[in-house]
């Protein structure tokens, strides 16, 4: 079995690669940083005796998913499990986020997820099945002021995953949405520690273990961590304007002090 992991150079992506390789899966590692991917691939080969291929691509760039699949074809790799993990977030007042940053974010967090899934799923079905794990977030369960584009993207990931799961039920393809809360990764190096909004961060290895357990059990989505799960499931969903107003009281902590 071969798993393709995007955003594999650090954080959850690197941890997915490690745990899948420990299960004996060959891995394809995709991210921008070739040096870090090469180092991880060498370590996985040595530790687990698996095949580990590296493709350096920036998924914010148009056509990147197609280039990834072209690379797979060149070396004759068939992907059985796609882990759409690559992503980053923006936080703060929408008009103050640097121009183009949210567009890049949506290219990585949404467009590449759809494109890679569309490009790889048909071959999985033709071979009798496979799997897709899409990394969302607890931010996807409600509108989140000051994380407007990020939370909207993660809502897309959750609904996209659940819809595909129903489409492919009984056809041999499993689809899981992983919806972690704050996790100790490089994500917070980009958006800042305040983006955790005071929540306790989970270690990446625990989040990935929960994801793989849920995938093994063919669950539709999983929210690792009791506190995260309670927050995701007990928060009100309507009226939507009230939910957004309540969320604002929590998320405004991400702003710089006046």
> Residue 62 contacts by C-beta under 8 Å, 6 or more apart in sequence?
107
Contact 86, 30 (CB under 8 A): yes
Token pair 């790799």 in the structure block, residue: 77
Question: Residue 217, SS3?
Answer: coil
221 belongs to the catalytic site: no
Q: Is 33 helix (H, G, I), strand (E, B) or coil?
A: coil
Q: Which letter, b or e, does each residue of 4-28 get, where b requires 16 or more Cβ atoms within 10 Å of its Cβ?
A: bbbbbbbbbbbbbbbbbbeeebbbb
Cβ neighbours around 1 below 10 Å, total: 14
Residue 25 neighbours by CB under 8 Å, 6+ apart: 1, 2, 3, 50, 81
Task: Please pick, among 146, 150, 168, 221, the residue that the annotation labels catalytic.
Answer: 150
The catalytic residue positions are 150
């Amino acid at each position: 079995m071969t798993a393709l992991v995007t955003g594999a150079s650090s954080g959850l992506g690197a941890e997915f690669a490690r745990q899948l390789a420990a299960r004996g899966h060959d891995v394809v590692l995709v991210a921008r940083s070739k040096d870090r991917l090469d180092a991880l691939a060498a370590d996985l080969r040595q530790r687990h005796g698996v095949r580990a291929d590296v493709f350096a691509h920036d998924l914010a760039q148009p056509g990147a998913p197609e280039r990834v699949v072209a690379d797979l074809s060149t070396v004759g790799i068939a992907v059985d499990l796609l882990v759409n993990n690559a992503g980053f977030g923006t936080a703060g007042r929408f008009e103050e986020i640097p121009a183009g940053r949210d567009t890049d974010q949506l290219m990585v967090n949404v467009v590449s997820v759809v494109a890679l899934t569309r490009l790889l799923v048909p071959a999985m079905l033709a071979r009798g099945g496979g799997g897709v794990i899409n990394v969302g977030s607890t931010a996807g369960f409600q509108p989140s002021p000051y994380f407007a584009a990020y939370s909207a993207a993660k809502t897309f990931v959750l609904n996209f995953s659940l819809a595909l799961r129903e489409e492919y039920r009984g056809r041999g393809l499993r689809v899981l949405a992983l919806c972690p809360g704050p996790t100790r990764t490089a994500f917070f190096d980009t958006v800042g520690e305040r983006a955790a909004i005071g929540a306790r961060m989970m270690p990446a290895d625990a989040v990935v273990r929960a994801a793989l357990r849920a995938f093994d059990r063919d669950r539709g989505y999983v929210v690792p961590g009791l506190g995260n799960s309670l927050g995701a499931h007990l928060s009100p969903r309507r009226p939507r304007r009230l939910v957004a107003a309540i969320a604002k009281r929590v998320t405004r902590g991400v702003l710089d002090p006046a």
